[in-house]
Chains A and B, each alone.
Chain A
């Protein structure tokens, strides 16, 4: 290509030209114009990687299906038994909900906006490491908004994954709780100590601004705080790995291991306003 189309000098000019464009983009990164270019490129590029990922997932599903068929019958018998039990539990649950609504009305309490869950598939992971962002196949048209909470279901129940950071018509970018762009109020479920959970772009997060005389301890379960404007309170975030003193004598920090397994993220749940 060098010899055919461009001389060595033209190649150098091209290099300077491309550098200039890159630097221009870096210096004007906040403008709407650049955001427009970014969104346009996103729409053009998205189909290639997401189709490739779907192709592999489809193949995996076919092979997995054969193996799963064997256990399906056994599960079916067990689930039928459980269904009978849960039917009566659901009945009890509905009565409790109705009672709860009546009691709330009695004390004139306005509940926070009701949320409904929306299942979404992870269509794109961050290409460098997996602790900053990912893309899901749900967007504006599905009722997702900026800052919609995103959770995943683990063996122990729901766990916080992140929040929607950038929104498109049929997809959204999720800022993970482990990203440095993420900060959310969280607390120890055991000692009730409140702090601010900050991502570190790595496998652990930092719970800062914990009172120095607090009772938080290694192994404590960390959950979202009622102070959070985005996440419902009480959703699991992780557990305390170690506690370190802060530079400010009034505070201490805790290193938190996320509950979410970032290596196995396929489906997530978005909480959208009902």
Chain B
């Protein structure tokens, strides 16, 4: 039960950071993809199951709040959660360079995946414009990643001390 609360808190933090406070992290109209960073963190530290479930829920939330093709984010975040979980205990998540590289890859995968989904599931109906955001945003997300990983690690240590992750 405590573990569920721990994941529930992470879910809420993701929603609040991405949807409520993103305007305070914006730069030239760009917002880092906080949810992808948290997804990588959860996948690396907790394994594929919580990461894919959280990814699915975050994706569903994003789809509900946006005007995009419904299901796009749910599908992509589930896949990203699963893939990051596969690296759990095989990848040193404490190294900043690893955190940045993984986040860069995940955010680039997200944009490529979005493009593919639009082509497959809604050709001609939902327009997808390739622009500078898709190139710049992964790098911006990559720069923010170590900060959120550090906060996440501190929170995880706190949760372990309280027995939430036993």
Residues of A bordering B, CB below 8 Å: 1-2, 4-6, 11, 14-15, 18-19, 21-27, 29, 34, 37-39, 41-42, 45-46, 48-53, 56, 124-133, 135, 165-166, 173, 175, 179-181, 200-203, 262-263
Contact = CB atoms under 8 A, between A and B. Distances in A.
Given A2-B49, A19-B75, A133 B67 contact: yes
Given A14-B49, A52-B20, A125-B23, A29 B60 contact: no
A180 B127 contact: yes
B52 A181 contact: no
A24 B50 CA distance: 22
A229 to B, nearest CB: 21
A129 B52 contact: no
B131 to A, nearest CB: 4
A75 B127 CA distance: 48
B137 interface: yes
The 7 closest A-B pairs by CB, nearest first: A25-B71, A52-B20, A49-B20, A41-B64, A49-B19, A22-B75, A26-B71
B155 to A, nearest CB: 16
A201 B128 CA distance: 9
Contacts of B28: 203, 263
Contacts of A125: 19, 22-23, 26, 31
Interface string B40-65: 00000011111011001001111111
A263 B31 CA distance: 11
B56 A18 contact: yes
10 contacts: A1-B46, A19-B78, A25-B63, A26-B71, A49-B16, A49-B18, A51-B20, A56-B21, A127-B18, A127-B66
B63 to A, nearest CB: 7
Contacts of A19: 75, 78-79
B127 to A, nearest CB: 4
Contacts of A181: 67, 127
B13 to A, nearest CB: 10
Given A14-B53, A180-B127, A263-B29, A53 B71 contact: no
A2 B82 CA distance: 12
A4 B74 CA distance: 25
B133 interface: yes
B15 A1 contact: no
Contact of A130 (B29, B46, B50): B29
B133 A52 contact: no
Contact of B16 (A48, A180, A203): A48
